[in-house]
A and B are shown apart, each in its own frame.
Chain A
Amino acid sequence: MRRADTAEEAAFRAEVRSWLEANAPAWAGQAGPAVLDHSVEAERAQWKRAQEWQRTKYDGGWAAITWPREHGGRGGTPVQALIFAEEQARFGIPGSFIDAFLGMIGPALIRFGTDEQKARYLPPMLRGDELWCQLFSEPEAGSDLAAVRTRGRVEGDELVIDGQKVWTTSAQYADKGFIVCRTNPDVPKHAGITFALIDMHQPGIEVRPLVTVRGDRHFNEVFLSNVRTELSNVVNGIDRGWPVTTFVLMNEGAFIGTNDQGRTSAEDLVAEAAASGRLEDAVVRQRLGVACVRDRVLGLLRDRLKDALLDGRAPDVDGSVLKILSAEWGHDKAATAVWLQGASGLLAGGDAPQGGLWQDQLLSRGSTSVGGGTLEVHRNGLGERALGLPREPRFDRDVPFKALKISS
């Protein structure tokens, strides 16, 4: 179970808290309903808010707690980052996608980037001045990301990129992107991939929003035609992008697995059902009982991960366990909540109870069951990594990329 803070951690927590008391934005604590507004205006406003909050954190020295001081971070520990996140959540300030790319491309540049790349890109990233997007997935490269077909070719001192990306979160708001492309189709697929940084404000880039089942437009298709970036923006060298890519994916998995918005608890449903008299119904108690038990188990599992972090040891429970349970149980809980609404469960949006919060969660299953790796890929990982079961036979390891069979 979750242990208490040490004296040092408690002091740090108090410092965070007093800083938040002095600096929390006016909108703190009112984030709820705005999340459900999927209009472009609302999303722009959210980005603006997130950027302003990032700037405030930067000025206070909290922009990136675990980054080394030489790169503009606080030089703190993962425990301190966890404490800050907890306190920020207590103030009703949700995390934003800025936290995501700070956690993904930031550490990758610190680990693999040149001094020039770090000096150019890290400071504006920390200030929230430049927004980033991840150009990884393609129509034919989803779970099998190393099958990317977007071509990159070297022309003089530039890398020229042509192709298509998809599922690119917030590409329409991004200033910069990090992209993987195929620079050598004559070698096995993992060996011919290049990782590069590009400017999103250039003529060859066309961004088309994808509307998801819940009606938001976070994702995009990105078409790239004669897109150019200087070779000095290639990370880890031409054809050597795959280690950088897996490093980023590892950080993405960590972000998605632990990022629980926690805005909808089963206990709240019990309180509501009790107030409306529905708790007299044994079937209602049954379904809510399942949801309550799962909420508690998931909370205990999260504590286990956090405890490992607090003690500075490797987690003794695989992150994929939490990822899978969060996605599946989160959806089941939403289904129970909508069922509990009876006929009102037919409604959505502003006409539905609580502004359609549960309906929105019901429909957002794909964001956790596909985003950050499909549940099936995570189950493979559990079987192979955690249990040591043999891998599927593979046909694509030692074959040149151009000889591989790819759909369409």
Chain B
Amino acid sequence: MPRELADFNLDEERVAFRDTLRRFVEEALPMTAVRGVIDSGVAFERDVWTRACDELGLAGIAIDEADGGQGFGAKELAIALGELGRGLAPLPLLASAGLAARVVAAVLGRGKAGEWLGPVAAGEIATLAWLEAGGDWDPAATALEVEGQGAGVRLRGEKHFVLDAPQAERIFVVARAPGSHCDEGLGLFAVEREAAGLSIHAQEGLDPTRSLARVVFDGAPARPVGEAGAAGPGIRRGLEEASALLAAEMVGGFQQVLETAVAYAAERHQFSRPIGSFQAIKHKCADMLIGFEGARTASDAAIVAIDEDDPDRAELAMVAKAHVGPAYVRAAIENMQIHGGVGYTWEYDAHLYYRRAVSSGALLGDATFHQDALVRRIAARRASTTTGATPAQGGRR
């Protein structure tokens, strides 16, 4: 019988929390339900989300109490995301709590964002629109400019690859002051679902369990979140935290892939032997485990660094996002391969995890993007330690 993987860095309370979530996902969103969501073309089941918020308080778990949330840490949110990732649960937790709420909190400061985060904690769905048609992960590449000034600005243009937009009550949009460049002039703006001049067009995703949309603003009214034009550092920090949280979500799916592959290798017989007794298969499984241990170690370090406000947190988030993605993709491929012919069928779930792995590996910056950012940061840090200057801020120069 395959052996169970030991938990890593989880105390008893968190194990209980994890187990509660796992039961919830298995019961409320079994694979048959996930398949139903895929077939229906709806992004997710709203009533399951409502239950997740009402019964488990998921939406506000990592939002400060002063902002209307439950005040737990990134660690708890990471556990929740991991369980959703494990079941490919199509719920807007990453978009709402992992992305939009983190960016808003980072822009306004924790405890000062209740106006926006209170509703998110209560289960209203928010998302973040920062990418554009060119698909550059760096917020410095934002081209969308706001029209007007003060409280009554308008947006005209498009955002792409927006998560869970069709069901979002509110979209936080990254846009810039007219004529500004790079991080200067970046602002965060809230657009309501019912706003005039807002239209949402679903995009077909490689990962059918993750809702993506193109959002068109035709003079849509927007309210600035924080000081317009000065949101760059907060946006960066929020995206950095979201990268670490997405890595944690991927680790949940990774574990499911590893366990599925090992169970199949132990049970499937060919040549009168379990195929897992052949080194060719056993070594694939061993490599999946090696990849998994590195992935969960890197992801956990990045999450802990957020909660401890570790000065190393930016680099650890880059390391986690850069490392987890390719390792998960590799494991998802090997899982399909170990399953042989059935692994190539629509009916088996193996391809859904592969789609999720490839898609999440790219989302919020793929491995090469984060490797590049990490190297630039290390070079700046090393140069500053030799010259005695203060370390440079992250991001592209």
Residues of A participating in the B interface, judged by any CB pair closer than 8 Å = 1, 267, 270-271, 273-274, 279, 282, 285-286, 288-290, 292-294, 296-298, 300-301, 304, 316-318, 321, 324-325, 376, 379-380, 382-384, 386-393
Contacts and interface: CB of A to CB of B under 8 A. Distances in A.
Contacts of B319: 292-293, 296-297
B374 interface: yes
A321 B1 contact: no
Given A282-B372, A388-B2, A321 B382 contact: no
B262 interface: yes
B392 to A, nearest CB: 12
Given A286-B371, A386-B289, A393 B273 contact: yes
12 contacts: A1-B305, A282-B372, A292-B374, A293-B323, A324-B290, A379-B287, A380-B283, A380-B286, A383-B283, A387-B289, A389-B266, A390-B266
B385 to A, nearest CB: 9
B38 interface: no
B306 to A, nearest CB: 12
A270 B375 CA distance: 7
B382 A270 contact: yes
Question: Binding site of A, secondary structure by majority: helix, strand, loop or mixed?
Answer: helix
A286 B326 CA distance: 14
Contact of A380 (B8, B279, B298): B279
Counting contact residues on chain B (CB < 8 A from A), the size range is 35 or more
Contact of B293 (A267, A271, A301): A301
B265 interface: yes
B249 interface: no
Contacts of B293: 301, 317-318, 321
A155 B283 CA distance: 46
B111 interface: no
A300 B382 contact: no
A21 B298 CA distance: 36
Interface of B: 1-3, 6-8, 262, 265-266, 273-274, 276-279, 282-283, 285-287, 289-290, 293-294, 297-298, 301, 304-305, 315-316, 318-319, 322-323, 367-368, 370-372, 374-376, 378-379, 382-383, 386
A325 B294 contact: yes
Contacts of A387: 2-3, 262, 285-286, 289
Given A279-B375, A289-B372, A389-B265, A383 B282 contact: yes
B41 to A, nearest CB: 37
Contacts of B323: 293-294, 297
Counting chain A CB atoms within 10 Å of each CB, which of B7, B282, B316, B372 scores highest?
B282
A274 B383 contact: yes
A325 B290 contact: yes
A96 B304 CA distance: 36
